[in-house]
Amino acid sequence: MLRSSRVGGYNKHYAFFNQGPVWRQNKDLARRIQNAVVQWPMVYTGSKGSQAMSDGDSFFPSSPLDNSPVTPSPAQDEGCPNGAGVLFSFGWPANGSTAVERAQGWYKVLEGIEGLPPISSVKGQAWSEEKYVMGAYAAWWPPGTITTAREQWAEVGGQLFFAGTEWSPEGAGYMNGAIHNGRRVGSKILCLLGRRPPAPSTC
């Protein structure tokens, strides 16, 4: 199963504004930003087994998201007295072979939006391009792989236990999922070690 996996290729693309998140006080501006289109790639032209994602050739549209800090921190950045304004997307503002190239597309995507200040800078980041990571938190398997391996994958044996957000039936993919699942597995281990009374069911 692991040999069949393809690492995830998630990207993050940011557009920064020194004037702060001006769209939060302007509903019309926020609506105009939401109407801008960022392309979410569905099919890549990269070679089989390639860790890095190359150009995409099939997309569906998504909208930019507000990823600005909740409160401004002018003491940390004198250039942003109103806090940094940040628009974000996992999607691609432009096609390109690297996240840095794709992030340049923000200039075109947000061009001409009335009331939106000029972009101060852009940044692109991709897990698959990280030297010591080489992939995202999700993997892609061909159809049938998980079904075939589900019996072995579902239950870990012996003294090995898996815990983490992706294993949580509650809040999977987020911090609260990691906490819920960590507590559940930790309690089970303590029970098996005899350091905690068993629950009404069993360890």
Q: What are phi and psi of 158, to 5 degrees?
A: 65, -140
For residues 168 and 189, what is the distance between their CA atoms, to the nearest angstrom? 16
The tens digit of pLDDT for each residue in 99-127 reads 899 999 999 999 999 999 999 999 999 87
The reported pTM is 0.63
Q: Return d(Cα 38, Cα 199) in angstroms, integer.
A: 49
Of 66, 83, 114, the C-alpha closest to 20 is: 83
Quote the pLDDT of residue 136: 67
- Nearest CA to 13 out of 66, 64, 89 is that of 89
Phi and psi dihedrals of 188, rounded to 5? -65, -40
Q: Does the pLDDT of residue 79 top 50, yes or no?
A: yes
**In this structure, are residues 162 and 156 in contact, taking their beta carbons and an 8 Å threshold?**
yes
Distance CA 181, CA 172 (A): 9
The whole-chain average pLDDT of the chain stands at 78
pLDDT (0 to 100) of residue 114? 95
Whether residue 51 is predicted with pLDDT greater than 50 in this model: the reply is: no
Nearest to 88, CA basis, from 74, 69, 73, 72: 69
| Domain extents in the chain | 8-129, 140-192
SS3 assignment, position 23: helix
Confidence of residue 49 (pLDDT cuts 50, 70, 90): very low
Q: Which long-range contacts (CB under 8 A, 24 or more apart) does 68-73 make?
A: 68/20, 68/21, 68/24, 72/20
Tokens 């960022």 identify what position? 38
Residue at 143: amino acid letter: P
* Per-residue pLDDT tens digits for 6-38: 566 678 899 999 888 999 999 999 999 999 999
- What ranges in 136-199 are assigned the alpha helix state H? 145-154, 175-192
**138-164: pLDDT as tens digits:** 666 667 776 777 666 555 667 888 888
Specify the pLDDT at position 147: 76
Query: Is pLDDT of 196 > 80?
Result: no
